[in-house]
Structure 1
Amino acid sequence: MAAGLQLQRCVVAQTGKHSASVIFLHGSGDTGQGLRAWVRDVLKQDLAFPHIRVIYPTAPARPYTPMRGALSHVWFDRYKISWDCPEHLESVEAMCSTLDAVVQQEVRAGVPKHRLLIGGFSMGGAMALHLVSKFHPDVAGVFALSSFLNKDSVVFQMVQAGPRQSLPELFQCHGTADELVPHDWAEMTVARLRDAGVSVTFHSFPGVQHQLSRAELEKLRSWIIKKLPQEDPPVRD
């Protein structure tokens, strides 16, 4: 995938002065517009803030191996959906370069890296972890909902080989009834990252399947506000 590719984006604008941004990546087969609509349906309102712009990019359609090569809006290819298979690194690395342009656009708009959060649902959460560990360990944090990393993920290798703060704080949520991405895959991901020194907040949601839940999104909203508080206006003499 060309690094210069311009991704379609769905944006929920801040209601006041823009001082921070959240980049929220959808799961496989979805779109940015679809994820925004899903969040709005669950919360009965947009995930919106006075000072934070929320950006939902859309992955370009590409052949997806688990769907026998059919085109799908996915961030990267997979050999199969499994904890113990290798990552499709060529497609992961290409999309890291493409998504880097979304981050740089926010930086050019005046948002410093420490006022950015990057995360996603399912494949979007894994993509966020790859993007942050490869290019942006200095953002405010990363979040992963119903997500996992493969057993021998390059993310684990980069975090273990790098300095103790080579990945910012991770906020992760997972439903205990998830059959597509079993809960223990998320637990193993969290354990590997914690062993490497990453600060992780992990919430389990009993009975929740591979889906967004209101309780999960409310916790995410609170975490976003904690990581990206509204800045006080400058004091004038």
Structure 2
Amino acid sequence: MAAVRKLQLCAVSPTGKHSASVIFLHGSGDTGQGVRAWVRDVMVPDLAFTHIRVIYPTAPARPYTPMRGALSNVWFDRHKISRDCPEHLESIDAMCSTLGTIIQDEVNAGVPKHRMIIGGFSMGGAMALHLACRFHPDVAGVFALSSFLNKDSVAFQAVEDRARAGLSLPELFQCHGTSDDLVLHQWGQDTSTLLKKVGMSTTFHSFPGLYHQLCQPEMELLHSWIFSRLPPIAS
């Protein structure tokens, strides 16, 4: 079996004792450093905590079909940008395995999975949903910003199977701007509706006039939600 490739990371360390972790995945064509800088510009003072480490990995460059095979920093390949086409499961599952090493590194550092949240922007949010719903459903939560899953995503079936078996599922926090391109807001809202229908606890926030981008009110809501899911541990 080929060795799992280590990803480049940048991180914001807690100012106090590290007792929880957030993994924040960038959108297609970006980097961990890029989305970290974007968050810092949008969020005042920052998406930072006294007890939570926020990790920003960078996806490796790979040929990306919607760009006619040009190299791009993407978490997985797509046949095309559409919710109606099949998912590129080979690349999705391979990246879930790679990102799983980051989760394991945090476990090795003493942070249990129920003290972790996985999320991301755009493609990063879709990647986070696959990672949390299918492979690491014991994390505390998952967030998806300006993101959607394909209509027949295997993640929906994974959630439904766990719900029917009475097994725990992470809570979903989702945000989307109403002015996003190509009806992406509707696709994001449909993702939230379908996940709720099959048994997941979901929250969906719409931001009027927001395009495919982050904004301060959205990040403030995310900060509060993360803190509620991963509160400090009493000493």
One fold, TM greater than 0.5?
yes
Aligned to 2:96: 96
Q: CA deviation at 1:11?
A: 0.5
Aligned to 1:175: 177
Question: Letter of the aligned partner of 1:197 in structure 2?
Answer: G
Q: Which moved more, 1:193-202 or 1:162-171?
A: 162-171
Q: CA deviation at 1:3?
A: 5.5
Report the 3-state secondary structure (helix = DSSP H, G, I; strand = E; otherwise coil) of the residue aligned with 2:224: helix
Question: Letter of the aligned partner of 2:158 in structure 1?
Answer: M
Q: CA deviation at 1:2?
A: 5.3
Aligned to 1:205: 207
- Give the Cα separation in 2 of the matches to 1:165 and 1:119: 21
Q: Which moved more, 1:205-214 or 1:179-188?
A: 179-188
Aligned to 1:140: 140
Aligned to 2:189: 187
Aligned to 1:116: 116
| The one of 212, 231, 234 aligned to 1:229 | 231
Question: Percent sequence identity over matched residues?
Answer: 72
Q: CA deviation at 1:45?
A: 3.4
* TM-score, with length taken from structure 1: 0.95
Question: Letter of the aligned partner of 1:173 in structure 2?
Answer: C
Q: Which moved more, 1:30-39 or 1:182-191?
A: 182-191
- Give the Cα separation in 1 of the matches to 2:9 and 2:182: 27
Report the 3-state secondary structure (helix = DSSP H, G, I; strand = E; otherwise coil) of the residue aligned with 2:142: strand
In structure 2, list runs of 5 or more residues that go unmatched.
none
Aligned residues: 233
Aligned to 1:77: 77
Aligned to 1:216: 218
Question: Letter of the aligned partner of 2:114 in structure 1?
Answer: H
* Distance of aligned partners of 1:203 and 1:55 in 2 relative to their CA distance in 1, 3 Å threshold: same
In structure 1, list runs of 5 or more residues that go unmatched.
none
* TM-score, with length taken from structure 2: 0.96
- Give the Cα separation in 1 of the matches to 2:30 and 2:3: 21
Query: Does the 8 A contact of 1:121 with 1:144 survive in 2?
Result: yes
Query: Does the 8 A contact of 1:141 with 1:170 survive in 2?
Result: yes
* Distance of aligned partners of 1:43 and 1:229 in 2 relative to their CA distance in 1, 3 Å threshold: same
Aligned to 2:158: 158
